[in-house]
Structure 1
């Protein structure tokens, strides 16, 4: 494989109803930093039926150029269809690096695409770096249940591929005045290639899903709640008063107090809200890895020696069942 033929860093921009999803836009930030260190471009790659809005959004968030594939075959995501389209693009343009958000779609698409391209894939990355001399990307991800971090390089094949956890990197401030080249491609999927078909999309169910990655304020509960009732009596009221989302530690989820979709940490979701309030959470390293990107961390715990206070910007030592209702009441007063 002649590596000199491969250049530029691609970011797959996932879309929903023609709009760019946050996970891909987040990756344009580190993608641009790595690409520019290599003297290359960060390219947004979009597959869909009508991509005009997603193209403009990707450019506003830092894409140097855009490759856009429009066809009825890409109106709804399918593993076979999107894999086929991306394989054709990679074989034509030969990118050196391809980054995909580790969303439900990204975790499905990445392995299939890597297999078709006969290259490696590092999944669920939380850190990125690049060797400017060799062009090798250092993909870092949790290993052995989050007890250590492994850094992996793909030294023998191209493109280098990785899926990156949503919420690890922050989007840059969008600039609607930016312009960039948009290359339109027409790639139809051969008849019979797509073996599954979307019959119906139930938006009501999607709306109820917890999107912690997009939340600006998260109130999380842990083992210190003592039971599931704490989420309803003190955590959720505070989150609602703040207009935020409800999170949880692994201990609370494993105890069956709250569904896994709320879990923050190495084995849950990685988040970077403006405010993260950790209530009754001791601060195990696996949990800290999932929320340390928050702009402001507030810890409430009755144990003054809890590790969470070591990373918190503000700490309150005391009974959360007394403190949280008082906070909720004060916030509601400020809104009246």
Structure 2
């Protein structure tokens, strides 16, 4: 069995969950592709996921209402053991990276971490990942009977529906008493599509000049295009934008259909978080800016003139 842990938001499978489905399909290993859904009030999520995989295992319990790495690791380990899973796929989100290592320890299994590709090679599992700020690509191989794999968000395209509905099963779990508990949760209120879900991402860099310019130019264009808003580390460190918008090695990884980089120099740390975008558009006054080496389309010019013109054009 190939077991994938499906993240979900607001009653729908996340984009990352559908990317894991595609990774499982491309893997080509024996056994059914099985999605495990953890949480509470999961009927809508399970129904939609069943259109993509052969089996959906539903753990709908009050103890799973809020994410907890100890509980998640215990749940995934139990299901993997009971289902005799040979491959466990987890999205390499912040939480996924946290509990996937615990699962590997509990199963006494190797962990192929933050991979951009995973494939079967003669019975062994190979995982490809970036290293040294995406300057180097490394390949790791596991010949163990069970392997845990965390897959980098955006590494695969989201899967399409399978054409027939898979089976759904409720599962019973023996969960430990957690030694930690959540004492509070703050949810950022925004009407914009989340960065990792957006088809278009507009990112501003230090060249935007100020927080006020960021709001008027970057957000103004994003509002017209229904796009997600991103920022470089320099912008976040300056306090112009929240950390949740940071794109790059120490921020989020995105792979939208279109990535528009405005006033972004193109440091390798930033490129590692958006390099797999389908189309990259760069706006920068410096014709030698590194971002242009990775852009499909480039505009050399003063962003303070270019972006207002784009805002006006998209408004029409």
- State TM-score, norm by structure 2: 0.88
* Structure 2 unaligned residues grouped into runs of 5+: none
Instruction: Find the counterpart in structure 1 of residue 172 from structure 2.
Output: 186
State how far apart, in whole Å, the 2-side matches of 1:202 and 1:311 are. Answer: 36
Residue-pair matches, total = 316
Q: Indicate how the Cα distance of structure 1 residues 206 and 146 shifts in structure 2: closer, same or farther if over 3 A, else same.
A: farther
1:131 aligns with 2:114: no
Deviation (angstroms), 1:209: 9.4
The alpha-carbon distance between structure 1 residues 260 and 313, as it changes in their structure 2 partners (threshold 3 A), is: same
RMSD of equivalent CA atoms: 2.6
Taking structure 1 as reference, are residues 49 and 263 closer, same or farther at Cα in structure 2, changes over 3 Å only? Answer: closer
Which is further off, 110-119 or 180-189? 180-189
Task: Provide the residue aligned with 1:54 in structure 2.
Answer: 45
Residue number in structure 2 paired with 1:75: 65
TM-score normalised by L of structure 1: 0.83
Helix, strand or coil at the partner of 2:142: coil
Residues 325 and 123 of structure 1: is their aligned pair in 2 closer, same or farther, counting only changes over 3 Å?
Answer: same
Question: Residues 97-139 of structure 1, C-alpha deviation per residue, up to 9 Å, x if partnerless?
Answer: 11111223312221222222222223332x1132331232x22
Residue 9 (str. 1) matches residue 2 (str. 2):
yes
Is the aligned partner of 1:100 residue 2:82?
no
Unaligned runs of 5+ in 1: 1-7
Pairing 1:283-298 to 2, within 5 Å after superposition: 283-298=266-281
Residues 1:148 and 2:133 aligned together? no
CA–CA separation in structure 2 for the residues paired with 1:186 and 1:74 = 12
**1:234–1:325 contact (8 Å) kept in structure 2:** yes
Q: For 1:238 and 1:133, how far apart are their aligned partners in 2?
A: 49
Partner of 1:4: none
Rate the CA distance shift 1:18–1:48 in 2: closer, same or farther, 3 A.
Answer: farther
- Partner residue, 2:225: 242
Shift of the 98–22 alpha-carbon distance from structure 1 to 2, 3 Å rule, reads: same
Whether the 8 Å contact between 2:193 and 2:227 is mirrored in structure 1 is: no
Write the distance in 2 (CA, Å) between the matches of 1:116 and 1:208: 40
Confirm or deny: 8 A CA contact 2:3 2:34 kept in the other structure. yes
Say whether residues 1:29 and 2:12 are aligned partners: no
Q: Given that residues 103 and 148 in structure 2 are in contact (C-alpha distance below 8 angstroms), is that contact kept between their aligned partners in structure 1? A: no
Distance 2:293 2:113 in 1: 29
Q: 1:67 to 1:263 in 2, by over 3 A?
A: same
Aligned counterpart, 1:43: 34
